[in-house]
Structure 1
Amino acid sequence: MMKSIIVSIVFFTLNVNLSFAQEQSSGAKNQSVKKELKKLIVYGSDTCHYCLDTKAYLKKNNIKFVYFDVDVDLNKQNEMVLKLQKAGIPLDAISLPIVDLGQQLIMNNVADFEGFLKQLNTKH
């Protein structure tokens, strides 16, 4: 009886330690995956020629990015709106595409679209 209790305790302890080690290992892996996945995020619309031109520019310059069509993906539209509000950007002043560089949101400046594109190249 005592032997089976000791074996159970040892088994439980090993199992807990193994689970904890796997959690730490997967946590480290998740952090490195998050770093790899951190890319430029472009919120736009496939009906917007500035958005299409921005995607083409990023591809041409081998800049990694993730693109979300906010006309189709309402969850990403909400995500974009929340980021704009958090940054203090009035929603009536937005112009697609909007690019999230992680620490900064850059919005298309229709008057200087080339300048907008150059910002994407120098910031990334």
Structure 2
Amino acid sequence: MRIFVLSFVFALIGQGAYSQTKPVDSVAIESVKTNKLIVYGSDTCHYCIDTKSFLKEKNMVFTYYDVDVNLEKQNEMIVKLQKAGISLDAISLPIVDLNGKLIMNNVADFDGFLKKLIEKTK
């Protein structure tokens, strides 16, 4: 009986400790949400390198994934493109995920692509 009571008490203490970790988890989730700009690119792509430089120059916080070496992020990018209805035949790196909206490089107007990034983040 004594063991039963002690295990019950420890179970209650454990539940209390678990419930106290939820605010910490929500803080971690909020910090992930604040990073709104994800750039999928390649370190061998001059447009990708120029985009990273441009964003750093503008002091914009972003996450960069090299899809040539990070296959998990490459798959993530492909799934996002498919969900957005963008044909995989027409993709042009870099692809920027801005709050769930995809912006793809337009090779014919790269400066316009960079301006669109700035406009969409305001």
SS in 1 for 2:85: coil
Could you tell me which residue of structure 2 aligns to residue 99 of structure 1? 96
Matches within 5 A, 1:26-45: 26-36=24-34, 38-45=35-42
Alignment gaps of 5+ in structure 2: none
Q: 1:61 aligns with which of 58, 72, 77?
A: 58
Using the size of structure 2 for normalisation, the TM-score is: 0.85
CA distance in 2 between partners of 1:81 and 1:9 (Å) = 49
CA distance in 2 between partners of 1:122 and 1:14 (Å) = 52
Alignment gaps of 5+ in structure 1: none
CA distance in 1 between partners of 2:65 and 2:5 (Å) = 54
Verify: 1:15 aligned to 2:24, yes or no: no
Identity of aligned residues (%): 59
- Counterpart amino acid of residue 100 in structure 1: D
Q: 2:79 aligns with which of 74, 78, 82?
A: 82
CA distance in 1 between partners of 2:8 and 2:92 (Å) = 62
CA distance in 2 between partners of 1:19 and 1:123 (Å) = 42
Using the size of structure 1 for normalisation, the TM-score is: 0.84
Deviation, 1:16, is 4.0
